[in-house]
Structure 1
Amino acid sequence: MNIVIIGSGNIATHLAKAFYATNNTISQVYSRSLANAQALANVVSSTALIDLKEVDNDADLYVIAVSDSAIEEVVQQLPADLEGIVVHTSGATDINVLSKFSNHGVIYPPQSINKNIATDLSLIPFGIEGNTTQVFDKLFKLIKDIAAKTFVCSTKQRLALHLSAVIANNFSNALFSVAKEIMDHENLDFELLKPIISETASKVQNHDPIQTQTGPARRGDYVVINKHLQFLSQYPTEREIYQVLTDFIIKRYHN
């Protein structure tokens, strides 16, 4: 395929490299920053752009890999008569934002990706949506060459997947930071928690998380829970978080 990459950030960088490595041509790379566009273009033997008016009209695929808030702006600047497939890579943006194009779809990897960190895309699932069967088939085949775990994913499913990924990844990381702050404040090394964090992540790979839940809330141990809440009186925000999550677990297992 002849592909135009619109964006130079994390997903744009990894997809451009993956497409290039699977014998596709990256004809152009667009970014609002010429330096960023040129940096990625150099890696994939492409041409750097900072003006969407210069985008090729005869590409097979246009990948809009920008922030969610910038997708509509990019769409407005692209000509509506593009014959190639136009896709975005957002988990939370409806496919209909691309409805002005005859052929459009979505390529969504539910993964936290950093362009400066090597990532094996073959291990990452990719949700695919197309406005027609033909578009879906082309996108599915393209991504299947990169990632074996490619699957059909509607806009509603993609939003649910994105939301679940935020809960599983971003929220858990926020809780790690809460734990670290408490440990730091009490002169304890956060390294002491890493084995249990690793064990929890390992368990969920092979077991239903509902079945592996442990802790005082799971046991209904109100003596320990009250001790924790008393200790957290010096951390009011963290106490509120603890209370909400404890109530949730108790209702799930002791209702």
Structure 2
Amino acid sequence: MKIVLIGSGNVASHLGKAFAAYGYQIIQVYSFTKANADALAFGFTAALATDSLAQIRTDGDLYILAVSDTAIPTIVEALPADLVGLVVHCSGATDTAILKKFANSGVIYPPQSISKNITLQISEIPFCLEGNSPKNLALLQEIMSPIAPHCIPCDSKQRLILHIGAVFVNNFSNLLFQCAYELLEQYNLPFELLKPIIIETANKVQQEAPRDVQTGPARRNDEITINKHLDFLSQDKEKAEIYQLLTAQIIKRNK
């Protein structure tokens, strides 16, 4: 299996290393910045680095477009339409139609927050797979199963829904962590005091539905405590608005 990595960021780095560890051959790494392509390609025995899409090899079995959603159209346009290998992107929000110029195409999407310099077990991450034909979906399952056994077929609409869900549980929750961080920092309290409850909350939803483990003043409809909180937050309009919105939603869902 000869793989061309188009991209040198978080997803490309982790996928490339996982593929190489299994025995697949990374033959080329592309990045808009040559130094980034060089850095990632250096870790693979036979990989060439390039910053020119005109120099992309045409003998790959799998082309992985591990780039930002906004970069996908430009890269697709620049790649030759007659590539025989399977061309896939890794986006949750981009329809497979963007790859229609290629005879063989699909998607490998991990609903996971991936950072290049943080150790990650690819085998523990679920991957959503889509192919432009049953044959190509089966091929993707065959390619991915040795490194990521938790793979499921997922069409473009389902993948978009999953991506929205990931934004709620990851990006939005992280914003709330930041709100709490700023609040505690303002009053000389260490954020470490909240880390155990963050972990406990995350652990609970591994076993039960989120609604079943909801706690707090809004869950109890404790108006006295809620009003104390809002009175304190009146000095910070943005945090007060977030608090009010989320409190109203919890109360509504637990009537």
TM-score per shorter chain, which class?
over 0.9
Partner of 1:237: 238
**Amino acid in the other structure paired with 1:21:** A
Partner of 2:13: 13
Partner of 2:220: 219
Q: Name the SS of the counterpart of 1:188 in structure 2.
A: coil
Correspondence 1:203 to 2:204 = yes
Distance 1:180 1:85 in 2: 45
Moved more, 20-29 or 184-193: 184-193
Equivalent residue runs for 1:60-139 within 5 Å: 60-139=61-140
Distance 1:154 1:83 in 2: 23
**Number of residues of Structure 1 aligned to a counterpart in Structure 2:** 254
Q: CA deviation at 1:189?
A: 1.7
**Amino acid in the other structure paired with 1:132:** S
Distance 1:218 1:157 in 2: 30
Moved more, 72-81 or 188-197: 188-197
Partner of 1:59: 60
Q: Name the SS of the counterpart of 2:106 in structure 1.
A: strand
Distance 1:39 1:108 in 2: 24
Partner of 1:162: 163
Q: Render the CA deviation track for 1:4-56: whole Å, top value 9, x for unaligned.
A: 11000000111111111111111111111111111111101200011111111
Distance 2:23 2:43 in 1: 14
Q: Name the SS of the counterpart of 2:188 in structure 1.
A: coil
- RMSD between aligned residues: 0.8
Partner of 2:34: 34
Structure 2: gaps (5+ residues): none
Q: Render the CA deviation track for 1:156-198: whole Å, top value 9, x for unaligned.
A: 1111111111110111111011011111112222111111111
Q: Name the SS of the counterpart of 1:62 in structure 2.
A: strand
Q: Name the SS of the counterpart of 2:206 in structure 1.
A: helix
Partner of 1:252: 253
Q: CA deviation at 1:72?
A: 0.3
Structure 1: gaps (5+ residues): none
Distance 1:49 1:194 in 2: 43
**Amino acid in the other structure paired with 1:29:** V
Distance 2:5 2:122 in 1: 17
Q: CA deviation at 1:117?
A: 1.6
Q: CA deviation at 1:98?
A: 0.4
Q: Name the SS of the counterpart of 2:42 in structure 1.
A: helix
Q: CA deviation at 1:58?
A: 2.0
Distance 2:58 2:124 in 1: 33
Partner of 2:151: 150
Correspondence 1:23 to 2:23 = yes
Distance 2:89 2:158 in 1: 16
Distance 1:87 1:15 in 2: 13
* TM-score normalised per structure 1: 0.98
Distance 1:116 1:83 in 2: 33
Q: Name the SS of the counterpart of 1:206 in structure 2.
A: coil
Distance 1:211 1:114 in 2: 31
* TM-score normalised per structure 2: 0.98
The percentage of aligned residue pairs carrying the same residue is 56
